Structure 1
Amino acid sequence: MKYILTGPLGLLLIILILLSSCESPTTQSAATTSAPTGQTTEQKNSRPAQLKSAVAQDLAALLHLIDVRLLPLTQRAATRPVPLDSLRQAFRQCRLAYKRVEPFTEYFLPATSRLVNGAPVPEVEVEETKMFEPAGLQVLEPLLYPDPAPVTTDTAAYRELRRQTVRLRRQVLSLQLLWDEQEFTDAHVFDALRQQVFRVVALGITGFDTPLSAAACLPEAAAALSALEKPLRLYIKAPREAAPSLIPKLQAASAFLRRHPDFAAFDRMAFVREHANPLSRGLLALQRQLGIEPFSGELRALRPETATLFDSNVFNPDYYTGNRQWFSNPAKVALGRQLFYDPVLSGGKGRSCASCHQPEKAFTDGVARSSTLTGGTLRRNTPTILNAALQAGQFYDLRSPNLENQAVDVIGNRDEMHGSLETAVGQLARQPRYLARFRAAFPEAATAPEPVVSPVRIQNALAAYERSLVRLNSPFDRYVRGENGAELSASAIRGFNLYAGKARCATCHFLPLTNGTVPPTFQDSEAEVLGVPTHPGSTRLDPDLGRYELTKLAPLRNAFKTPTLRNVALTAPYMHNGQYRTLEKVLDFYNQGGGAGLGIAIENQTLPPDKLHLTRQELADLKAFMLALTDTTNTRAPGK
C-alpha cells in the first residue's frame, strides 16, 4: 500500500510523525539552524542548497522503495507466503538506498536516523529509568536472517515484520520533513563527509550494521562511500592541486570494497591504510584549499581538524568534562600528578591513587580484586586509567559521568581510600608548595572569594592529570597511519583483520579507542551483557548485577562498561571480576559465545551466543594484534 498525504488525514499524520520524532531520547545535532523564510537566487544556487536538494531526492527514492517494494511484500505476507528471497532483496535495496543519505541524516538528524538504522536494542534513559523501543532496518534484519528466517514459519513474525516496516516508513518520512528545515554551510558539508569516512572505518567494515547478513556488509560500505561523490563534484569545479585526485581516490576506495566482498577474508588493514586514511586526509586538504576552515572553535570529542581517525591527537579529553572551567592546563596536570601519588587524600591511611593504579602495570594493580582498608577485597577489578578520559562514564557500572565525580567516590569510599576532601583541603592549604601549585593551576582563584585550595579543585586537578594519560601511539597506531619505518608483524595484521571482521570484536570495542565509546561522534559509552561466570569453567553467572543496581531496567541486568583493550598486555587479570588471568582464557570465552555459549542461562546477553569457530592460529593472531596496542609512553612514577 502507498500512503498519500492529502486532506485532513494527511495533515494529522504529519503532525503525529513530527511529535513521534520529538519523543526520541536523543537530541538532533546542534549544527543545524532553522530555514530562512525566503532565499535569494544566489542562496538557492549555492552548493549547500544544491546538496540539500540532492539529498531530498535520495530520501524520496528511499521512501519510494519502501512503498513499492518492501511494504507491499510485508502486507501480502500476512495472508499468504511470500518468497523469502523477495523480502530480502527488497530489504537490501532499502538498506543500500539509506546508505546514499546516511552521511547527512546521521550528521544533521542523529536522533531520527537512529530510528531508521540504529542498533536493534532499546534506548535506555537512565535518569528517567525508561526504555524506548528500537526501530529501523536493524530491527527488521533478524526477522529476515539467518536461515531459517522466523518469517518462514511464524505468522506472528510476519505481523511483526509488517509493523516494523510501517514504523520504518514513518521514520523515513520524519527524516524528509525534518530535512526540509535544515540549513547548513560548506564547513558542515565537509565535516559530514569526513565523518562518513570515519563511520565506514569504525562501523561500516566491521559488520556493525549487518550482524546477521555479513554478505551485505562490504557492498553497503561501498555504497556509503560512493554517496560522497555527488557532494564532492559540487565543490570540484576547476583544476586544483588536491581536487583532481580526490574523486579517483574515492572511487578506488569504493571499488576496493566491491572487489573484495568476502566479509571474513577482507583485508581491512589495507583498506584503512591505502584508501580510507588518504581519502580523509584529501578531504581536509581540499576543504582548506577552498578556504573553508574546520570548526576549530567547537568543543567535540573528535577534534574538528582531524585528518584521520588514527591521528595521535585525534581526541580532545576536555570534551568529557562537561564544564569549561574544568579544562586542563599544564599547571593543573602537574598538581594532579603530585596529588595522585600523595597519601594525604586517604586520611592518613597511607594509600594514594597510585597504590591501586600503578604506572608499571598500565595503572592497574595486577590482582583480581584489590584489598580493602578494612581487611577484605573490593567487588570489582581495578581498571586502567590510561585513556580512561575518553569515555562518557566511569566505573564498570558507568555511574559517574566524569573523572571529577569518580574521584569523590573513590576518595570517600571507606574500603578504597577512606579519606575526606574537606580534611585534605586543610592539610594541603598548610603546605606552601601546594599553595603555590594551586595558584598556578587555578589563576582565577586570585579574585575568587573562596580559598584557593578547595574540594572541587582537588577533584579537577586529579582529573586533569588523568586526562593527560591519553596514549594513542602504539605500534598498531603508527603502522595504520603509515608512518615511515613503522612495522607490524604479519600475525598482528591478520589479528586486526579478525578483530574488525570475523571475530566481531570491533562491534563493541569500537575503533580506534577499542572501548565502548561509540563512533563517529564518540559522545556515548556503552555497556554490554557478556554472561561472565564466577570463575573460568563455571556455569554459574557472576552475581554482580552491574548497571541494574543503579537503574532497575531488565536490559541492564549484569551489564558492564565495555573497557578499552589498549595496553591489555599489561592489565591482567581481566573482566569486571578479574577471574580471567590470561588473554587466551578471555579469547576462548568469546570464541565460545560468552556465558550463553558456555551454558549459562542468561536471557539478556548482548554478546551473540553463537560460537565464532576461530582456529588456534586465528586466536594467536588476535592476541598478537592486542599486544600491539601497548603504549605507556611517559607514564613512570615520580623519581623513576
Structure 2
Amino acid sequence: MNLRQSNSLILSLVLLISCGSPTAKPAPSPPALTGQTTEQAGSRPARVKQDVARGLTHLLALIDGELLPLCQRPDARPLPLDSLRRAFRRCRLAYKRVEPFAEYFLPATSRLVNGAPVPEVEVEETKMFEAAGLQVLEPLLYPGPASGTRDMTGRRELVRQAVRLRRQVRTLQLLWQEQEFTEAHVFDALRQQVFRVVALGITGFDTPLSPAATFPEAAAALAALQAPLRLYARDNTGPAAHLLTRLQTARAALGPPAGFASFDRLAFVRRHTNPLGRALLALQRQLGISPFAGELRAFRPEAATLFDADGFNPDFYTGNRQWFTNPAKVALGRQLFRDPVLSGGGGRSCASCHQPGRAFTDGQALSATLSGGRLRRNTPTILNAGLQAGQFYDLRSPSLENQAGDVIGNLDEMHGSLDAAAGQLAAQARYVAQFRRAFPEAGSAPGPLVSPVRIQNALAAYERSLLRLNSPFDRYVRAEAGAQLSPAAIRGFNLYAGRARCATCHFLPLTNGTVPPTFQDSEAEVLGVPTRPGSRRLDPDPGRYALTKLDPLRHAFKTPTLRNVALTAPYMHNGQYRTLEEVLDFYNQGGGLGLGLDVDNQTLPPDKLGLTKTDMADLKAFLLTLTDTTGRQ
C-alpha cells in the first residue's frame, strides 16, 4: 500500500537515487489512519517502524559490505562464486525480515527488490521496464559455471544488477521514513505475510534456481512476525505468547531435515499456517483492533486464512461501485445469459458456448463461428472468471462488462448489437420490471432504464456469482470435519506446490495467474504450445503480442484456472490437448523449448521436470479434487 508516498521532498530524493529506474503501477489507497499511529513516540507502531528501519539498514550494509565488494573485484581472476552466493543468500534472508512491511506499504519499490525476474509491461503505453532485484541476480549466480559470471560481460552485468539492487533498497529506506500506520495495519501486514509464505514462499517462487534456500527463506519470512508480536506479549503469558509459541513451531517445521521435494506442504498449511492466520485475527480482535472489514479488496481483509470459503470479493474487479453485484442483478444476468435476443438473428446465446452442464465450456477444441468456420481459440470456463484482473486469453478486456460487450458484438461469435437488444428488452414488461429491481438507482438517472451498459453489468454480475471454491481439496485444507483426500491426491498437491512447479504460475488458492496475496494483477505466460501434442511446430497465435507489440508478449496467454479442470477439456488456448495426461506430459518435457521449438521468450522453465508416471498420476489425482459443482448454475 502506498502510504505517504506523495511527500514531495522524499520523492525528489528517490528520483535522484533511482536514476531513471521504472516506476511500477501505484497500489490502491490504504485504509484511513485510525487509532494509535507511528507519530506517537513509544507506540507499538512506532517501535515496529524502528525495527523495520534497522532491518533495511542491515540489508543495505550487507549489500555494501559483502555483495558489491565481491562483485567489483578489480582483477581478472575468477569471481569467488561460493562467497558471492553466501553473500547473496544473506541479503535475501535479510530482506525476508522486512518483507511483510516493505511489500505491504511500498509494493512498487519492493517489486524492484524481490519481484519476479520478468520485464514489467505497460500495455496502455506499449512500454516495457527492465526487471530488477534479487530474483534478477539469482540466474547470474546459479547454477555456477553456466551462469556467465566468469567472463567480463557476465561480471559487468552482475555489478550492474547489484548496484540497481542497492539503489532500490536505498529507495525503500527513504520512503519508509515517511510511513505512518496503525496497529490495524501491523496485523493486516502480518496476516498477509502468512499468506505470502503459503502461496509464494514454500512453492519456491522466490528461489527458482536455488531450491535449497526455499525453506530457510520461508522460515525467515515467518520470523519477521516475531518482533512485532512480542510487543503484544506480556510476561510470556496470554494469547500473544501462545501465538509466538505457535509461530516458533511453524518455523521449526520448515527446518532440517525438510527437503524441497519431500516436504509435506499440505500438512504444513493445515497444521501451521492456517492456524497461525486464525490466531493472528483472533488476537487482533481480542485486543480491540478492528480489521479493515469495510475496505474493498480482492481478498477480504477479515479473511483468516488463504483458503477461507468466502475470502474473495469479485466486486473488487468491477472498477465501478455502481456495478457491484446484488441478487436482482444476478437473477437478471442469469436470464440474459440464456436469452438469444443478444445475438444477431436470435440464434445463439451466451449459454450456447458456455454451457452450464459442461462447467460453462462447450467441450469443443474450437467453437463454430456463425458463418460455419471455427473460432481462433478454445472456449474457457467462466467459473471463477470474476476473480481475474483481465479477461480473454490475451487479457485484452479489463472487466467482465467489457468482455460481454466484445463477445456480443463479435461477428463470428454472436454478431449482435447491445443497442438493438436493449430496445427489444425494453418492449417486454417482465424484463423492464427485472431491470428496475436490479438497478433501483436508475429511476433518478437520465436515459432509458434498459441500456447496453446495464445489460453488460447484469451479465457480469451473474458471472461473478459463479464462484466455485468449495471443492474436496478446499474442505480438506480447511480441516473441515469429515473431509478426506486420498494419499495420491496429497502427494499430488505436494508435487503441484513443490517439485512440479505448478503453483509458481497457477497460484494458490485460485490456481490461476492472479497474483497473491493482494490478487490485484493477473499474469500471462509464454509456454511454447505447439499446434498439437507431439508436433514440432509452434502454434502461430501471437497471443498478447497481437495487441501490444512488445517481444516478451509474443505467444503470451493468460494463466487460466485449474479449478474444475476435470470438466473443462480440451485444454490450452488452441484446444488441441484432449486429456490431462497430454497437458502434464507437455509440462514435464519443459514446454516448447524442452520439445525443441524455437521460443526464445518462453517464461516456463525449459528444464525437464523428471516426473514419473506415478508422479503424473498423483498430480492428476490432486487436480481432480479441485472439482466443485456446488452452487447455482
Fold shared per TM-score above 0.5: yes
- Do residues 340 (structure 1) and 337 (structure 2) align? yes
CA distance, structure 2, for counterparts of residue 180 and residue 627 of structure 1: 49
SS of the residue corresponding to residue 346 of structure 2 reads: coil
Aligned counterparts, 1:117-516, within 5 A: 117-237=114-234, 242-516=239-513
Which residue identity lines up with residue 311 of structure 2 in the other structure? Answer: V
Q: Give the deviation of 1:16 after TM superposition.
A: 4.2
CA distance, structure 1, for counterparts of residue 86 and residue 68 of structure 2: 13
Q: Give the deviation of 1:261 after TM superposition.
A: 3.1
Q: Give the deviation of 1:28 after TM superposition.
A: 4.7
Q: Deviations over 1:173-217 (max 9, x none)?
A: 110000000000111000000000000000000010000001001
The answer for the alignment partner of 2:23 in structure 1 is 24
CA distance, structure 2, for counterparts of residue 328 and residue 57 of structure 1: 45
- 1:240/1:303 CA distance change after superposition, 3 Å: farther
Q: Give the deviation of 1:452 after TM superposition.
A: 1.1
Q: Deviations over 1:384-405 (max 9, x none)?
A: 0000000000000000000000
CA distance, structure 1, for counterparts of residue 104 and residue 37 of structure 2: 26
Q: Say which is worse superposed, 339-348 or 136-145, in terms of deviation.
A: 339-348
SS of the residue corresponding to residue 255 of structure 2 reads: helix
Do 1:301 and 1:317's aligned partners in 2 also have CA atoms closer than 8 Å?
A: yes
- Do residues 62 (structure 1) and 62 (structure 2) align? no
Q: Say which is worse superposed, 610-619 or 151-160, in terms of deviation.
A: 151-160
Which residue identity lines up with residue 537 of structure 2 in the other structure? Answer: R
The answer for the alignment partner of 1:7 in structure 2 is none
- 1:77/1:619 CA distance change after superposition, 3 Å: farther
Which residue identity lines up with residue 512 of structure 2 in the other structure? Answer: N
Query: Structure 2 stretches of 5 or more lacking a match?
Result: 1-9
- 1:21/1:299 CA distance change after superposition, 3 Å: farther
CA distance, structure 2, for counterparts of residue 465 and residue 165 of structure 1: 49
CA distance, structure 2, for counterparts of residue 525 and residue 456 of structure 1: 24
Do 1:25 and 1:125's aligned partners in 2 also have CA atoms closer than 8 Å?
A: no
Do 1:31 and 1:188's aligned partners in 2 also have CA atoms closer than 8 Å?
A: no
Give the count of matched residue pairs: 622
Do 2:39 and 2:180's aligned partners in 1 also have CA atoms closer than 8 Å?
A: no
Do 1:411 and 1:421's aligned partners in 2 also have CA atoms closer than 8 Å?
A: yes
CA distance, structure 2, for counterparts of residue 476 and residue 405 of structure 1: 32
The answer for the alignment partner of 2:542 in structure 1 is 545
Q: Say which is worse superposed, 109-118 or 20-29, in terms of deviation.
A: 20-29
Do 2:38 and 2:180's aligned partners in 1 also have CA atoms closer than 8 Å?
A: no
- 1:78/1:388 CA distance change after superposition, 3 Å: farther
Q: Give the deviation of 1:148 after TM superposition.
A: 2.3
The answer for the alignment partner of 2:525 in structure 1 is 528
Identity across matched positions, percent: 75
Which residue identity lines up with residue 346 of structure 2 in the other structure? Answer: K
Q: Give the deviation of 1:536 after TM superposition.
A: 1.0
Q: Say which is worse superposed, 291-300 or 12-21, in terms of deviation.
A: 12-21
- 1:93/1:220 CA distance change after superposition, 3 Å: same
Q: Give the deviation of 1:530 after TM superposition.
A: 0.3
Q: Give the deviation of 1:31 after TM superposition.
A: 2.5
Which residue identity lines up with residue 200 of structure 2 in the other structure? Answer: L
The answer for the alignment partner of 2:4 in structure 1 is none
CA distance, structure 1, for counterparts of residue 14 and residue 534 of structure 2: 56
CA distance, structure 2, for counterparts of residue 183 and residue 283 of structure 1: 22
Which residue identity lines up with residue 29 of structure 2 in the other structure? Answer: A
Q: Deviations over 1:323-362 (max 9, x none)?
A: 0000000000000000001111113332110000011111
Do 1:43 and 1:49's aligned partners in 2 also have CA atoms closer than 8 Å?
A: yes
Q: Give the deviation of 1:62 after TM superposition.
A: 0.5
CA distance, structure 2, for counterparts of residue 430 and residue 254 of structure 1: 65
Do 2:37 and 2:182's aligned partners in 1 also have CA atoms closer than 8 Å?
A: no
CA distance, structure 2, for counterparts of residue 423 and residue 84 of structure 1: 68
Do 1:33 and 1:184's aligned partners in 2 also have CA atoms closer than 8 Å?
A: no
Do 1:33 and 1:183's aligned partners in 2 also have CA atoms closer than 8 Å?
A: no
- 1:425/1:622 CA distance change after superposition, 3 Å: same
Q: Give the deviation of 1:634 after TM superposition.
A: 2.7
The answer for the alignment partner of 1:619 in structure 2 is 616
CA distance, structure 1, for counterparts of residue 388 and residue 338 of structure 2: 23
CA distance, structure 1, for counterparts of residue 353 and residue 307 of structure 2: 30
Q: Give the deviation of 1:632 after TM superposition.
A: 1.8
- Do residues 74 (structure 1) and 62 (structure 2) align? no
Do 2:96 and 2:220's aligned partners in 1 also have CA atoms closer than 8 Å?
A: yes
Q: Say which is worse superposed, 557-566 or 340-349, in terms of deviation.
A: 340-349
The answer for the alignment partner of 2:557 in structure 1 is 560
The answer for the alignment partner of 1:87 in structure 2 is 84
- Do residues 52 (structure 1) and 68 (structure 2) align? no
The answer for the alignment partner of 1:5 in structure 2 is none
- 1:399/1:528 CA distance change after superposition, 3 Å: same
Do 2:360 and 2:381's aligned partners in 1 also have CA atoms closer than 8 Å?
A: yes
The answer for the alignment partner of 1:6 in structure 2 is none
Which residue identity lines up with residue 322 of structure 1 in the other structure? Answer: G
- 1:78/1:117 CA distance change after superposition, 3 Å: farther
CA distance, structure 1, for counterparts of residue 367 and residue 359 of structure 2: 15
CA distance, structure 2, for counterparts of residue 409 and residue 241 of structure 1: 57
Q: Give the deviation of 1:244 after TM superposition.
A: 3.0
SS of the residue corresponding to residue 528 of structure 1 reads: strand
Which residue identity lines up with residue 86 of structure 1 in the other structure? Answer: S
- 1:625/1:15 CA distance change after superposition, 3 Å: closer
Do 2:70 and 2:80's aligned partners in 1 also have CA atoms closer than 8 Å?
A: no
- 1:266/1:78 CA distance change after superposition, 3 Å: farther
Which residue identity lines up with residue 354 of structure 1 in the other structure? Answer: A
Do 1:302 and 1:316's aligned partners in 2 also have CA atoms closer than 8 Å?
A: yes
CA distance, structure 2, for counterparts of residue 634 and residue 171 of structure 1: 47
Do 2:79 and 2:150's aligned partners in 1 also have CA atoms closer than 8 Å?
A: no
SS of the residue corresponding to residue 26 of structure 1 reads: coil
SS of the residue corresponding to residue 387 of structure 2 reads: coil
SS of the residue corresponding to residue 560 of structure 1 reads: strand
CA distance, structure 2, for counterparts of residue 274 and residue 431 of structure 1: 56
Using the size of structure 1 for normalisation, the TM-score is 0.95
Q: Give the deviation of 1:32 after TM superposition.
A: 8.1
Q: RMSD over aligned Cα, in angstroms? A: 1.9
- 1:239/1:331 CA distance change after superposition, 3 Å: farther
Which residue identity lines up with residue 405 of structure 1 in the other structure? Answer: N
Moved over 6 A (4+): 39-42
SS of the residue corresponding to residue 299 of structure 1 reads: coil
SS of the residue corresponding to residue 113 of structure 1 reads: helix
- 1:291/1:80 CA distance change after superposition, 3 Å: same
Q: Deviations over 1:131-155 (max 9, x none)?
A: 0111110000000001324245322
CA distance, structure 2, for counterparts of residue 567 and residue 40 of structure 1: 45
Q: Give the deviation of 1:494 after TM superposition.
A: 0.4
Q: Give the deviation of 1:298 after TM superposition.
A: 0.9
Do 2:344 and 2:414's aligned partners in 1 also have CA atoms closer than 8 Å?
A: yes
Do 2:70 and 2:79's aligned partners in 1 also have CA atoms closer than 8 Å?
A: yes
Do 1:123 and 1:131's aligned partners in 2 also have CA atoms closer than 8 Å?
A: yes
Do 2:343 and 2:416's aligned partners in 1 also have CA atoms closer than 8 Å?
A: yes
